[in-house]
């Protein structure tokens, strides 16, 4: 266990968090390369933040949903509900962000593809951790 601000964090959960953040970041880069159809005149430097914000928002929402605690190992139904709920909250956060700050957040098809890939990969990575 690692002590962080008077809290003890299991190393396995820290590894899961970091692995999932890197996975979400890779998904963010993939969808921003393959699914972007932005018509907004946005500065080129703004689109650099898009995958990073996508990964950060998803990681924070998964943390709030309790997916970095051991509670999700209690059953597949609990895991699926937490992941689905996390993806719905992420969509509710990222959609207004994409309209308020075009080019900074994923939009439309890019967001839909990113969330689908992130949800599926979150399920797979947790099934691997359960073994």
Q: φ and ψ at 86, to 5 degrees?
A: -65, -40
Considering the domain boundaries, does residue 5 fall inside one?
Answer: no
In this structure, are residues 21 and 54 in contact, taking their beta carbons and an 8 Å threshold? no
Considering the domain boundaries, does residue 46 fall inside one?
Answer: yes
Alpha helices in the chain (DSSP H): 11-34, 44-48, 50-64, 76-100, 108-130
The CB-based long-range contact list for 60-65 (8 Å cut-off, 24+ gap) reads 61/86, 61/89, 61/90, 61/93, 62/20, 62/86, 62/122, 63/17, 64/89, 65/89
Considering the domain boundaries, does residue 82 fall inside one?
Answer: yes
Considering the domain boundaries, does residue 74 fall inside one?
Answer: yes
Reported as a single tens digit per residue, the pLDDT across 18-34 is: 999 999 999 988 888 77
pLDDT value of residue 39: 52
pLDDT over threshold 70, residue 83: yes
Q: Which residue range(s) make up the domain with 114? A: 10-130
Reported as a single tens digit per residue, the pLDDT across 89-123 is: 999 988 887 777 777 677 778 888 889 999 999 99
Considering the domain boundaries, does residue 3 fall inside one?
Answer: no
Residue whose token pair is 């309209």 = 99
Mean pLDDT over 72-90 rounds to 85
Considering the domain boundaries, does residue 51 fall inside one?
Answer: yes
**pLDDT class for 67, splitting at 50, 70, 90?**
confident
Considering the domain boundaries, does residue 84 fall inside one?
Answer: yes
Considering the domain boundaries, does residue 1 fall inside one?
Answer: no
Mean pLDDT over 66-82 rounds to 79
Q: How many domains does one find in the chain?
A: 1
pLDDT over threshold 70, residue 40: no
Q: How many CB atoms lie within 10 A of CB 60?
A: 15
């Amino acid at each position: 266990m690692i002590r962080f601000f008077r809290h003890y964090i299991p190393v396995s959960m820290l590894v899961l968090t970091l692995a999932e953040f890197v996975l979400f970041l890779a998904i963010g880069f993939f969808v921003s390369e393959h699914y972007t159809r932005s018509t907004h005149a946005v500065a080129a430097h703004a689109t650099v933040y898009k995958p990073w914000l996508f990964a950060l928002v998803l990681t924070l929402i998964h943390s709030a949903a309790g997916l970095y605690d051991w509670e999700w190992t209690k059953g597949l139904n609990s895991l699926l509900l937490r992941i689905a709920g996390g993806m719905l909250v992420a969509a509710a956060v990222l959609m207004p962000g994409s309209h308020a700050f075009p080019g900074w957040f994923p939009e439309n098809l890019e967001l839909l593809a990113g969330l689908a890939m992130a949800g599926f990969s979150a399920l797979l990575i947790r099934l691997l951790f359960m073994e």
